[in-house]
């Protein structure tokens, strides 16, 4: 630590330059963290997917419905433990911009199939008793300042259109930070009562839980074979495969995010590397003096890299702190368009690792130059 | 005692034998030093004079282990430095050589105290021991009251005295001074020379100095002229100023 003061003193040699470099580091790391959060949010579906859950959709597309009568047939397939079904409601609250996912759910097995989404028993019982009852995710409830007992009107242009009224009887929480807390659940019975005759008895998709995840592939095959050559053929896949296919639709966005992240990384590397190169060039004579009085070549290299590393750690920390504070606000302002925007510890670690890597790399080239510096030549240049 | 004919005793602190230094510039070999011999006894104060480009600084760099000769040997206190690796030379410099440069070369972001402490950071001395050493040498150079000043807050003469304190703080075997008064006014130059004289007389330091200043050279015990790559013993005038002055 006796050299710490030396490194520290050198940092403040040019205060404006130090501030600008720290600023560029902070902004870059903030952007880096934010991009990681967005990318992660796109991938989150695959991460939260249960290994023992299968999704059954209409083979034509997820927009096409499948008969409710399939439920009993699927239940009879060996290895199926629980089955539930959902429909996409697709409404908005008060204004078009207030989007959040609303699902029509079958209360019977909902909690068995999705045990990670916790609803207190009393609230669940209230939901079962009230056909107009609804349960909101904690994030959505907080977003619209809803509390239990509120009457929630949801406008929809589907299912006969109009404004549907719901009683908020419960709020669910996810067990894990990455669990989606933006959904809004409606009663299947109430939905059936109000939809046009043409879509009665039709579900959007089935979600089923299997006894043994190792049997998932076999069960999926059995289900699809069961409904082969019917008017509504099915496509069954594991929840993670389904989520992965969903993410594939955003492949270009993800590529864009990774590209921007890479550009940010290299720009930061060039900015910091250039700053360090200028800083070393300005101090050629001083570094020569260090060598003349007995400091080794390796010390000079360490000295330059340490300086660059300190800048990286301070700037990087500032950026990541900024990201920790800003991500929840950004998530809120996006209004649940991307659920589960979380800056996870692994992302923070990755951010720090990136900062350290940039710090070392940007100090390495000027440091090697300083290391190779010959005292005689350096003193002659002064 | 200083000798340039290679007849010095084995007990010389610095012994240089048949030293050649050739530079290659623009495809042409330039012989800067040719068959140079030198013997310097401990406690000697020698001044090297000569025209620009005569090789004074090259000689100083070779004696300080900053450069390697083309041929010949340099032995300091029994260590032959000419065949040392770069790493060994660095360690050797830290133990044996104190450098004083014309432009002082203090680190501007460090105080006088911190600048003087720099060589000691390479040692195993405790913080308290380092402090004691630094305070002692700053007292020797008369700047104990300026130890917390930054170089920009000091005059040129004071900066050079801090540089001398840095050079002697680790108690090196000898000091190499490259134009120590070259950037100073007469009064400051006299103060710096008085300090070097005191280091030799009172603290028994060995000082080798390159200078263009005849008045500075006159304060050395002996003056050596570097002419065509060879050292020649100079003479002082009756007034102390070297005969012929600086070229």
Q: How many CB atoms lie within 10 A of CB A144?
A: 17
Q: Which of B59, B89, B118 to mutate to test the interface with A (most CBs of A within 10 A)?
A: B118
Q: Three-class SS of residue A219?
A: helix
With CB atoms and an 8 Å threshold, state whether A375 touches B66: yes
Q: Three-class SS of residue A354?
A: helix
Between A251 and A164, residue with greater pLDDT:
A164
Q: Which residues contact A203 (CB under 8 A, 6 or more apart)?
A: A65, A66, A67, A68, A70, A71, A85, A86, A87, A106
Any idea which of A21-30, A175-184, A289-298, B113-122 has the lowest mean pLDDT?
A: A175-184
What's the confidence (pLDDT) of residue B25?
Answer: 81
Asked whether the whole model's pTM tops 0.80, one would answer no
Mark A322-333 as b/e (b = at least 16 C-beta within 10 Å).
bbeebbeeebee
What's the confidence (pLDDT) of residue B245?
Answer: 44
Q: What percent of chain B has pLDDT over 70?
A: 94
- CB-based burial label for A90 (10 Å; 0-12, 13-18, 19+): middle
CB contacts of B99 in chain A (<8 Å) are: 289, 292-293
CB contacts of A3 in chain B (<8 Å) are: 121
Residues 170-199 of B with CB under 8 A from A: none
Residue B79: left (phi > 0), alpha (psi -120 to 50), or beta? beta
Closest CA to A44 of A323, A244, A184, A241: A244
Spatial distance between the Cα atoms of B118 and B165, rounded to a whole number of angstroms: 11
If you measure CA to CA, which chain A residue comes closest to B175?
A293
B87 touches chain A (CB under 8 A): yes
User: Looking at the partner chain, which of A294, A295, A382 has a beta carbon nearest the beta carbon of B103?
Assistant: A382
Per DSSP, the residues of A82-133 read EEEEEEE---BSSSTT----EEEE-HHHHHHH-TTEE--HHHHHHHHH-TTE
Spatial distance between the Cα atoms of A340 and A342, rounded to a whole number of angstroms: 6
A189-196 mean pLDDT: 89
Residue ranges of domains in chain B, CATH in brackets: 42-68+85-233 (3.40.50.300)
* Confidence tier at A382 by pLDDT (50, 70, 90): very low
B150 touches chain A (CB under 8 A): no
Spatial distance between the Cα atoms of A191 and B145, rounded to a whole number of angstroms: 89
What's the confidence (pLDDT) of residue A56?
Answer: 94
B237 min Cα distance to partner chain A (Å): 33
Between A239 and B15, residue with greater pLDDT:
B15
Per DSSP, the residues of chain B read -EESSS---TT-SEEEEEEEEEEEETTEEEEEEEEEEEEE-TT-EEEEE--TTSSHHHHHHHHTTSS--SEEEEEETTEE-TT--HHHHHHHHHHHEEEE-TT----TTS-HHHHHHGGGGGS---HHHHHHHHHHHHHHTT-GGGTT--GGGS-HHHHHHHHHHHHHTT--SEEEEESTTTTS-HHHHHHHHHHHHHHHHTT--EEEEE-S-HHHHTTSSEEEEEETTEEEE--B-TTSSBTT---
A148-154 mean pLDDT: 93
CB contacts of A289 in chain B (<8 Å) are: 99, 101, 105, 107
CB A355, CB A25: distance < 8 Å: yes
Residue keyed to tokens 């030379």:
B89
Any idea which of A67-76, A261-270, A289-298 has the lowest mean pLDDT?
A: A261-270
Is pLDDT at A31 greater than 80 in this prediction?
A: yes
Is pLDDT at A339 greater than 80 in this prediction?
A: no
What's the confidence (pLDDT) of residue A340?
Answer: 66
Which residue numbers of A have CB closer than 8 Å to B's CBs? 2-3, 5-6, 9-10, 12-13, 285-286, 288-297, 375-376, 379, 382
Domain ranges of chain A: 4-45+251-381, 60-232
Is pLDDT at A247 greater than 80 in this prediction?
A: no
User: Looking at the partner chain, which of A12, A290, A294 has a beta carbon nearest the beta carbon of B109?
Assistant: A12
Closest CA to B228 of B47, B55, B2: B55
A268: phi then psi, degrees, rounded to nearest 5: -60, -40
Q: Three-class SS of residue A236?
A: strand
- CB-based burial label for A186 (10 Å; 0-12, 13-18, 19+): buried
CB contacts of A297 in chain B (<8 Å) are: 86-87, 90
Tokens of A50: 């249960």
User: Looking at the partner chain, which of B61, B99, B121 has a beta carbon nearest the beta carbon of A3?
Assistant: B121
Q: Which of B66, B113, B150, B160 to mutate to test the interface with A (most CBs of A within 10 A)?
A: B66
Chains A and B form CB pairs within 8 A to the count of: 61
* Tens digits of residue pLDDT in A309-335: 999 999 999 999 999 998 888 776 765
CB contacts of B94 in chain A (<8 Å) are: 293-295
User: Looking at the partner chain, which of A3, A285, A376 has a beta carbon nearest the beta carbon of B66?
Assistant: A376
- Block means of pLDDT (10 residues each) for chain B, 247 residues, are 76 90 86 91 93 89 93 93 92 94 91 96 94 95 94 94 94 93 89 92 92 92 88 65 49
CB B172, CB B96: distance < 8 Å: yes
Spatial distance between the Cα atoms of A234 and A224, rounded to a whole number of angstroms: 5
Is pLDDT at A112 greater than 60 in this prediction?
A: yes
End-to-end CA distance of chain A: 31
């Amino acid at each position: 630590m006796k050299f710490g003061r030396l490194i520290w003193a050198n940092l403040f040699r040019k205060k404006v330059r130090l501030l600008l470099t720290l600023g560029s580091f902070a902004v870059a790391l903030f952007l880096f963290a934010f991009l990681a959060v967005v990318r992660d949010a796109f991938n989150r579906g695959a991460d939260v997917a249960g290994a023992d859950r299968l999704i059954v959709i209409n083979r034509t597309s997820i927009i096409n419905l499948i008969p409710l009568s399939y439920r009993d047939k699927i239940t009879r397939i060996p290895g199926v433990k629980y089955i539930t079904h959902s429909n996409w409601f697709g409404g908005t609250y008060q204004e078009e911009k207030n989007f959040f996912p609303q699902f029509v759910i079958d209360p019977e097995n909902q909690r068995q199939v999705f045990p990670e989404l916790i609803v207190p028993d009393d609230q669940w019982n209230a939901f079962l008793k009230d056909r107009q009852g609804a349960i909101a995710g904690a994030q959505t409830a907080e977003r619209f300042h809803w509390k239990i007992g509120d009457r929630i009107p949801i406008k929809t242009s589907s299912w006969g259109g109009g404004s549907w009224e719901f009683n908020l009887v419960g709020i669910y929480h996810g067990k894990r930070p990455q669990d989606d807390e933006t959904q809004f659940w409606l009663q299947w019975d109430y939905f059936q009562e109000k939809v046009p005759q043409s879509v009665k008895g039709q579900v959007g998709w089935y979600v089923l839980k299997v006894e043994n995840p190792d049997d998932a592939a076999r069960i999926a095959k059995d289900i699809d074979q069961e409904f082969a050559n019917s008017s509504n053929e099915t496509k069954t896949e594991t929840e993670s495969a389904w989520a992965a296919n969903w993410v594939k639709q955003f492949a270009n966005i993800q590529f864009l995010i990774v590209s921007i992240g890479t550009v940010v990384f290299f720009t930061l590397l060039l900015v910091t590397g250039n700053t360090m190169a200028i800083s070393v060039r300005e101090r050629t004579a001083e570094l020569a003096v260090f060598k003349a009085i007995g400091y080794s070549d390796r010390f000079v290299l360490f000295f330059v890299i340490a300086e660059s590393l300190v800048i990286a750690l301070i700037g990087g920390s500032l950026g990541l702190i900024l990201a920790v504070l800003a991500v929840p606000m950004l998530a809120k302002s996006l209004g649940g368009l991307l659920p589960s925007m979380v800056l996870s510890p692994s992302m923070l670690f990755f951010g720090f690792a990136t900062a350290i890597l940039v710090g070392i790399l940007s100090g390495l080239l000027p440091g090697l130059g300083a290391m190779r510096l010959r005292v005689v030549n350096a003193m002659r240049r002064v | 005692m200083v000798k340039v004919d290679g007849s010095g005793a084995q007990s010389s602190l610095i012994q240089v034998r048949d030293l050649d230094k050739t530079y290659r510039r623009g495809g042409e070999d330039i012989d800067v030093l040719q068959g140079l011999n030198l013997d310097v006894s401990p406690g000697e104060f020698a001044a090297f004079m000569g025209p620009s480009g005569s090789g004074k600084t090259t000689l100083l760099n070779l004696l300080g282990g900053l450069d390697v000769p083309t041929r010949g040997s340099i032995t300091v206190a029994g260590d032959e430095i000419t065949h040392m690796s770069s790493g060994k030379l660095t360690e050797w410099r830290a133990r044996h050589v104190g450098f004083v440069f014309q432009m002082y070369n203090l680190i501007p972001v460090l105080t006088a105290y911190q600048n003087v402490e720099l060589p000691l950071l390479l040692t195993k001395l405790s913080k308290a021991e380092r402090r004691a050493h630094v305070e002692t040498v700053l007292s020797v150079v008369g700047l104990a009251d300026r130890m917390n000043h930054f170089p920009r807050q000091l005059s040129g003469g004071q900066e050079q005295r801090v540089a001398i304190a840095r050079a002697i703080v680790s108690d090196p075997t000898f000091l190499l001074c490259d134009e120590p008064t070259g950037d100073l006014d007469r009064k400051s130059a006299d103060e710096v020379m008085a300090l070097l004289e005191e280091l030799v007389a009172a603290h028994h330091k060995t000082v080798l100095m390159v200078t263009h200043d005849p008045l500075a050279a006159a304060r050395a015990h002996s003056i050596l002229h570097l002419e065509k790559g060879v050292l020649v013993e100079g003479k002082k005038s009756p007034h102390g100023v070297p005969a012929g002055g600086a070229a």
